[in-house]
Structure 1
Amino acid sequence: MGQLGSVFTMVLMLAVFYLVIFIPENKRKKKYAALLNNLKVNDEVLTKGGVMGKIINIQDEYIILESGPDRTRIKLSKSGIGTVINLNTNEAVEKK
């Protein structure tokens, strides 16, 4: 009976670990993938590096941002986007 109890405890610990770690992480990944798929030209974004700018061109895996008063253009990977800024309320829609 002692071995059965320890096996049950191990299975229970693995189930709790899965529920606490993997399920929320998968939800976060799906939400972030949806954010990247819904990027549009003229969206205001904040990169993971802290650069804020407006999307002026979207390619397959890259975007081009226009940032600052000089309208500096920056080419970066879509995965570099951390947050999309809602233009109506200036609040972050999604934050990584």
Structure 2
Amino acid sequence: MPQQAAPSASSTLLMYGMLILIFVVMYFFMIRPQKKREKEAAAMRHALEVGDEIITIGGIVGTVVSLRDDTIVIETGSDRSKIRILRSSVQANNTASERNAASAPAKKK
């Protein structure tokens, strides 16, 4: 039987170095942007005001009627039904998006 050479220390270090590099790249391309999006979503939910038009994660569109610590009451539909939802279930704030879009051209001038 032929004898196999033992792996050298440099090849072992190279293998561990590549493994660490993969984790660093994965952090910068996957984990860090996700945390940034989560932080922006939390800031959007915290900045909600009465009268804002929102979209929930379930696709319900409504207007904010009242705010509490972790719940929101929205008014939706033609019969103006009121629904109490969790603040964490808000996906988008249409009113804030419109405000930002309106102020963006003014800032460019």
* TM-score normalised by L of structure 2: 0.78
Once the two structures are TM-superposed, the CA of residue 89 in structure 1 deviates from its matched residue by: 4.5
- Paired residue total: 92
**Structure 1 residues 10 and 77, CA gap change in structure 2 (3 angstroms):** same
The whole-number CA distance in structure 2 between the counterparts of 1:55 and 1:11 is 47
Query: Which one has the bigger strand percentage?
Result: 1
Which residue of 2 is the match for residue 10 of structure 1?
19
Computing the radius of gyration from Cα coordinates, the structure with the larger value is 2
1:23-38 aligned within 5 A: 23-38=32-47
Query: Which one has the bigger helix percentage?
Result: 2
Which ranges in structure 1 are unaligned for 5 or more consecutive residues? none
Among 48, 70, 79, the residue aligned to 2:57: 48
SS in 2 for 1:83: strand
CA RMSD across the alignment:
2.1
Which residue of 1 is the match for residue 4 of structure 2?
none
Once the two structures are TM-superposed, the CA of residue 4 in structure 1 deviates from its matched residue by: 1.1
